[in-house]
Amino acid sequence: MANPVVPSSGVLTPLGLDAVRLDPGFWGDLRTLDQDVIIGHCLEWMDKLGWIGNFRGEPRRGREFSDSEAYKLLEAMAWAGDPRFDELAATVVAAQEPDGYLNTRWSGDRYRDFEWGHELYCAGHLIQAGVARWRTAGEHPLTDAVRLAADHVCRRFMEGHEVCGHPEIEMALVELYRLTGTERYLEMARRFVERRGRPALADIELGRAYFQDEVPVRRARGFGGHAVRAMYLACGAVDVAVETGDAELLAAIEAQWEHTVARRVHLTGGMGSRHTGESFGEDFELPPDRAYAETCAGIGSVMLAHRLLLATGRSRYADLAERTLYNLVAASPALDGRSFFYANPLQVRTPGRSTEDVSPRAQSALRAPWFWVSCCPTNLARTFASLPAYLATATPGGIQIHHPTACEISHDGLTVRVETRYPWSGAVSVRVVEAPADPRHISLRLPPWAAGALEARETPRGALNDTVSRHPDGLTPVRRGQALVFGERVWTPGEVIGIELPMEPRWVRPDPRVDAVRGCAAVERGPVVYCAESPGDEAVLAEVVVDPSRPPVERAADNALREGAAHGDPAQDGPLQDGSPQDGAAQDGSPQDGAAQDGAARNAPARDGAVQLEVRALRRPEGQTGPPHGEADDTPREEELTLRLVPYHRWGNHGPATMRVWLPTG
Amino acid sequence: MANPVVPSSGVLTPLGLDAVRLDPGFWGDLRTLDQDVIIGHCLEWMDKLGWIGNFRGEPRRGREFSDSEAYKLLEAMAWAGDPRFDELAATVVAAQEPDGYLNTRWSGDRYRDFEWGHELYCAGHLIQAGVARWRTAGEHPLTDAVRLAADHVCRRFMEGHEVCGHPEIEMALVELYRLTGTERYLEMARRFVERRGRPALADIELGRAYFQDEVPVRRARGFGGHAVRAMYLACGAVDVAVETGDAELLAAIEAQWEHTVARRVHLTGGMGSRHTGESFGEDFELPPDRAYAETCAGIGSVMLAHRLLLATGRSRYADLAERTLYNLVAASPALDGRSFFYANPLQVRTPGRSTEDVSPRAQSALRAPWFWVSCCPTNLARTFASLPAYLATATPGGIQIHHPTACEISHDGLTVRVETRYPWSGAVSVRVVEAPADPRHISLRLPPWAAGALEARETPRGALNDTVSRHPDGLTPVRRGQALVFGERVWTPGEVIGIELPMEPRWVRPDPRVDAVRGCAAVERGPVVYCAESPGDEAVLAEVVVDPSRPPVERAADNALREGAAHGDPAQDGPLQDGSPQDGAAQDGSPQDGAAQDGAARNAPARDGAVQLEVRALRRPEGQTGPPHGEADDTPREEELTLRLVPYHRWGNHGPATMRVWLPTG
């Protein structure tokens, strides 16, 4: 099956890329952008910087883990069916040593630095690339190389207590086991998971918690340390737990996930509160400005949620995946697919500087085309290419749609076409194209915000169903937990079922223990988190105060956009509708490269029809010039205005800007 | 003159260690602790770790800048008149190469890494140690070595464009110029200052802003980058400006100071908001939990404020020095002088782990006896040893007391004894011991919080003077700017003047642009910032809400303490007076090492008579278990209680604890 994760057991069965085919729409457009732009963009940069040349024995360039970028790109090409796969794969395979070892940085000096060497991390990505190829188009010289590499790892590491400073090999080996049935791959993965935290690695300045080596995996209370490492390790642990039937280990990861989601995840789904160590912070340490929320950690969180969803069937995992996909993974690439956020803060006070070169830093407030540590672009490339695999699942009784988006889903004789402009519209219809003779169900996940809104109406069950069902002949779904289930019944081709999710914009408030956003509120609409963006202007967003007793409303001017197709994005207008002097200044001060980026945005195929919102706000004048603390807070508030809000995932596409998700309420 | 800073011109003249002699009291006790404990503690650790052995050619140990710790300790010994100076100095001098170069890390491989090598930084500290010796006890083999080293630096660097990644050499060379009159030292310092930001150093991952090499010194808008580097560079720039008569450069640093103090300084005077790069953040980025506020940056800020005060006479520099001395510099050492904070956050959510070993990390929430990078303990040692030099100044017409503390001050025939229990009491009396025949003034700085409180009484000038004057025969001071000036007049030995500063505890509020402490307030009393501390208990401080409309009050139980001498510290009671279950649990759960530390605190000679405060607060139960954001914030609030507040500089002396300075108000 053409899916990155194919467990041998679990409550839900994944569907392959052949079973879920995206149509134009939010995610279909992003996958097209990936195939048309992002994959090629990554290949060009790696070629230019010599990271491909490393495999040809050219003078070594790039960081010690740069090989892994080539592997992630190979994985992306495999999922996308990209014709450039063969050439890149051949280059990689030619660099493998006879015993299976393959690393352009450490060849001849193997396994001297488990803390920072990333050799097993790279091997893991190589294996995942081979698995992707095998599952999409069968065996290949790369798949031979991958088995050779995995056998080398097993020979070298089956005994002893060594692990890699960066988890990744664990889930790769389990997936290769799932594909080949070779038991030693699973056993090797199990040992890597179990060795951690005994401890297996040296203490470092950042502490062993950085690479999850402070306590054994099953004894951790929540996720901590380097967020990408934490997510990847948890993925491997779930995979091992599922394949070995280790219910205790699975329960441990579930508990860690619950603990973390309640305390350490940003509103966008972003994970990681500290630039130092690219790490989770403490419980409730969720600063919007210094949120690291690395793109790769978001991808890792989606990978983990998918594994936990398959294993348990609990829709709360899909809930977090949805939050993360729309507000973090989708936020990273520019609309034109040629630059990327590495860190994804929820507040930017100082407009970033644009760069057309390699960014040495992750904390840029503007997207960059490439990074010295460039894990994120290739990770996005493989994620978008394999995205259909994450959207729906099956059971013997039917199919489950976790993330509604325009697509066609086929499984075991039942083919349906999902038609929706979600997340901009709440209307989701499912048309039966082909149906088997036996009864099936079709279920749609009910997101928690939708369930809450529906329940808040305090209507009887029938009325609830009236609200959510648009089935023409009166078929109403049954609510089972957090899903609306149509059927089980025998379907007839041409039948259409539908729901209408409530898309009223809503204010959300932080837990009072989140100190960093006390006295603030944010706006969501459907699964989308909104932000205020102020292109080219530092001051405005430091001075606004919103009133959450007045609900956000959709901008009238956007109604046409929701129905339309490709269109210009008016975000360069600045956040204020009322023409305050600073607003005018912001427009006049927009730099030229901002305008150029905007031109690209106008033609961007992805994510059309974005709904913009507005809220009434007060603007207070800039405060005192003395110390930033004093005996009184009697700053007068002046000037009521309208603050425009844009989807967070679209911010930063119009040149340097300030931005904030959490808006002060007083 | 026995003072670290002796400018050839300026509005105020410094007084040497021979002119200001500390009596027992807040700062006198700390200087005694330094002489009795801290200096020896540093020597023991450096000996044990081989950092002294490096000078004897033993296998190299420690970080590339560890030589500087020996130099800072030599400087401390010189100011303190410590008899161990000669032996350590001889060890250092013996390691100097014939041409004057002295560095145990880079000998034979000189000047290859200006970004990180710290060679000129170390040379600067060597020079400062020599200056301290020269000014306290005359020439010495070390002072010869220092001249040789400075000459080497001038030969090697007078031409070209190289600078050190860590500023320090600049102020050292100016001070050596001031001592010797050798012009080339000043010229070398001037060139080092001017070369920066052209740029002079390589771009690094942290950016050139890290070492103040992004823009020329006189063109920066405020202080940024690594906070210690920023402070040291600004010190050197002021020194160069004063000695070369460069009014533009002095004005630039003054403007940068104003910009920074209004936007980038924590309530404690702490500088640095980011662990990454140990750096300033952006304007208004002042997170209490991740405040770095390195001890050395606080020391650097006091050094800079002192230089600016001498140059301009503006008391606002002494205001910040006072805030920083009482709430950052005094907070770093434990009451027993055997462990130290490196970072000084304003909130600790998770109790730290105590260590009796070298701490590899700066961000410990518990003091550590030593660090891998151990700049802070020796910096404290030299600062406490030279502290009298920072307290008072002179002009031809009299003396100015900037920081009241028990001491005797002699200058040009006028000797006065300052008697006060400040900062615990606001009463400050100055007794004339010896007086010249010509008229003099005696002025006392009026801190801004005192000026504000006095002005808030809206009394006529006469009443103001009645309030502040305790002179027995009715002598009233004149207010000149931010000082109360007694005289000019001819004094008679035995005369006593006095003021009573208003010491009512007060709430302070953050600037609304400081996002991280929105909806919070803090308590100050006199110059002292207070905090709530919860030994051994994680939860309490996450759950309290205070009401700033109710003024904080002094704890009745402390009245006796204010008048008394040595006494036990009751802080181990926990922050709550009302015996809630968690409060009891906190007491029972106190770890043994906490109790041991407490024992040390009971006998600590420093900082006796601390006033504790209390405020009424609400405690709300622990919140939801779902995601840390949602549609409503309707957590019920329960249980009124009394929250005890202790001086921030005393926190963490009773074992692992949570702590917060900024308290939520709703």
Cα A575 to Cα A645: distance, rounded to the nearest angstrom: 7
Structure tokens at B157: 């660097």
Distances (CA, A) of A246 to A10, A197, A240, A252, A429: 12, 18, 8, 10, 39
Length in residues, chain A: 666
Is the distance from CB of B81 to CB of B137 less than 8 angstroms?
A: yes
The radius of gyration computed from the CA coordinates of chain B, to the nearest angstrom, equals 25
- Closest CA of chain B from A47, distance in Å: 22
Query: Is the model's pLDDT at B638 over the cut of 70?
Result: yes
Strand partners, A431: A417, A496
Q: What is the mean pLDDT of chain A?
A: 88
Query: Is the model's pLDDT at B368 over the cut of 60?
Result: yes
Distance of CA A663 to the CA centre of its chain: 24
* pLDDT at site A592: 34
Is the distance from CB of A662 to CB of A288 less than 8 angstroms?
A: yes
Three-class DSSP category at B521? strand
* pLDDT at site A560: 39
Can you tell me which residue has the tokens 């010194």?
B217
| Alpha-helical regions (H) of A293-371 | 295-312, 315-324
Is the distance from CB of B314 to CB of B516 less than 8 angstroms?
A: no
- The reply to whether B321 touches chain A by the CB within 8 Å rule is no
Report the pLDDT averaged over residues A279-290. Answer: 95
Q: How confident is the model at residue A637 (pLDDT cuts 50, 70, 90)?
A: low
Cα B264 to Cα B221: distance, rounded to the nearest angstrom: 12
Least confident among A365-369, B29-33, B398-402: A365-369
CB contacts under 8 A, A 488-517 vs B, are: 506-517
Cα B427 to Cα B503: distance, rounded to the nearest angstrom: 9
Q: Quick check: B509 and A630 CB within 8 A?
A: yes
| Partner-chain residue, chosen from B267, B452, B543, that has the shortest CB–CB distance to A631 | B452
pLDDT digits (tens, 9 = 90+) for A433-492: 999 999 999 999 999 999 866 654 433 333 334 444 444 455 677 888 888 899 889 999
The residues, ordered by sequence, that sit 6+ positions from A31 with a Cβ below 8 Å of its Cβ are A22, A80, A384, A385, A387, A388
Query: Is the model's pLDDT at A624 over the cut of 70?
Result: no
How far separated are the first and last CA of chain B, in Å rounded? 54
Query: Is the model's pLDDT at A231 over the cut of 70?
Result: yes
Report the pLDDT averaged over residues A10-22. Answer: 97
Query: Is the model's pLDDT at A358 over the cut of 90?
Result: no
The radius of gyration computed from the CA coordinates of chain A, to the nearest angstrom, equals 25
Cα B360 to Cα B388: distance, rounded to the nearest angstrom: 33
Structure tokens at A456: 């808040």
Three-class DSSP category at B188? helix
- The reply to whether A115 touches chain B by the CB within 8 Å rule is no
* pLDDT at site A633: 52
Strand partners, A101: none
Is the distance from CB of A521 to CB of A508 less than 8 angstroms?
A: yes
Q: How confident is the model at residue A584 (pLDDT cuts 50, 70, 90)?
A: very low
Q: Quick check: A285 and B349 CB within 8 A?
A: yes
Chain A residues within an 8 Å CB radius of B363 = 276
pLDDT digits (tens, 9 = 90+) for B283-315: 999 999 999 999 999 999 999 999 999 999 999
Query: Is the model's pLDDT at B573 over the cut of 90?
Result: no
- The reply to whether B349 touches chain A by the CB within 8 Å rule is yes
| Alpha-helical regions (H) of B221-350 | 227-244, 247-263, 295-312, 315-324
Report the pLDDT averaged over residues B246-272. Answer: 97
Length in residues, chain B: 666
Q: How confident is the model at residue A638 (pLDDT cuts 50, 70, 90)?
A: confident
Q: What is the mean pLDDT of chain B?
A: 88
Cα B273 to Cα B259: distance, rounded to the nearest angstrom: 16
Three-class DSSP category at B208? helix
CB contacts under 8 A, B 71-100 vs A, are: none
pTM over 0.90: no
Cα B533 to Cα B650: distance, rounded to the nearest angstrom: 10
Is the distance from CB of A594 to CB of A572 less than 8 angstroms?
A: yes
Handedness of CA B621, B626, B627, B633 (dihedral sign): negative
Distances (CA, A) of B293 to A654, B210, B344: 36, 16, 5
Nearest CA in chain A to B347: A515
Handedness of CA A167, A169, A175, A177 (dihedral sign): negative
Structure tokens at A546: 């919103």
- Give the number of other Cβ atoms within 10 Å of residue B436's Cβ: 13
| Partner-chain residue, chosen from A267, A361, A511, that has the shortest CB–CB distance to B205 | A361
* pLDDT at site A93: 98
pLDDT more than 70, % of chain A? 85
Chain A residues within an 8 Å CB radius of B449 = 631
pLDDT digits (tens, 9 = 90+) for A382-412: 999 999 999 999 999 999 999 999 999 999 9
Give the CA angle between residues A635, A639, A644 to the nearest 5°: 115
Cα A594 to Cα A653: distance, rounded to the nearest angstrom: 8
Q: In the sheet that A20-22 helps form, which strands lie side by side, from edge to edge? A: A20-22, A407-411, A414-420, A427-434, A496-500
Phi, psi of B634 (to 5 degrees): -115, 30
| Partner-chain residue, chosen from B265, B630, B664, that has the shortest CB–CB distance to A627 | B265
Give the CA angle between residues B175, B181, B185 to the nearest 5°: 55
Structure tokens at B347: 């909130």
Tell me, what's the ipTM?
Answer: 0.85
* pLDDT at site A454: 60
| Alpha-helical regions (H) of A365-460 | 375-385, 448-456
Distances (CA, A) of B65 to B168, B257, B406, B649: 12, 28, 37, 28
pLDDT digits (tens, 9 = 90+) for B526-561: 999 999 998 765 567 888 999 999 999 998 654 433
Cα A379 to Cα A303: distance, rounded to the nearest angstrom: 11
Can you tell me which residue has the tokens 């070995």?
A244
pLDDT more than 90, % of chain A? 76
- Closest CA of chain B from A532, distance in Å: 15
| Alpha-helical regions (H) of A158-294 | 169-180, 183-195, 227-244, 247-263
Structure tokens at B185: 């030292």
Q: How confident is the model at residue B654 (pLDDT cuts 50, 70, 90)?
A: confident
- In what helix (H) or strand (E) does residue A379 lie, and over which residues does it extend? helix A375-385
Cα B477 to Cα B461: distance, rounded to the nearest angstrom: 11
* pLDDT at site B451: 80
Chain B residues within an 8 Å CB radius of A267 = 629
pLDDT digits (tens, 9 = 90+) for B162-221: 999 999 999 999 999 999 999 999 999 999 999 999 999 999 989 999 999 999 999 999
Is the distance from CB of A652 to CB of A507 less than 8 angstroms?
A: no
Closest CA to B335 of B38, B664, B638, B3: B38
The residues, ordered by sequence, that sit 6+ positions from A448 with a Cβ below 8 Å of its Cβ are A316, A319, A482
Strand partners, B125: none
* pLDDT at site A572: 41
Cα B119 to Cα A247: distance, rounded to the nearest angstrom: 57
Q: Quick check: B511 and A623 CB within 8 A?
A: yes
Amino acid at A626: G
- The reply to whether B105 touches chain A by the CB within 8 Å rule is no
Least confident among A71-85, A593-607, B41-55, B498-512: A593-607
CB contacts under 8 A, A 535-554 vs B, are: 542-543
Is the distance from CB of A158 to CB of A187 less than 8 angstroms?
A: yes
Structure tokens at B614: 């209390």
* pLDDT at site B588: 34
* pLDDT at site B635: 56
- Closest CA of chain B from A275, distance in Å: 6
Distances (CA, A) of A600 to A338, A341, B527: 10, 17, 56
* pLDDT at site A595: 33
Report the pLDDT averaged over residues A308-323. Answer: 97
Least confident among A312-321, A471-480, A512-521, B290-299: A471-480
* pLDDT at site B639: 82
Phi, psi of A646 (to 5 degrees): -120, 155
* pLDDT at site B9: 96
Query: Is the model's pLDDT at B603 over the cut of 60?
Result: no
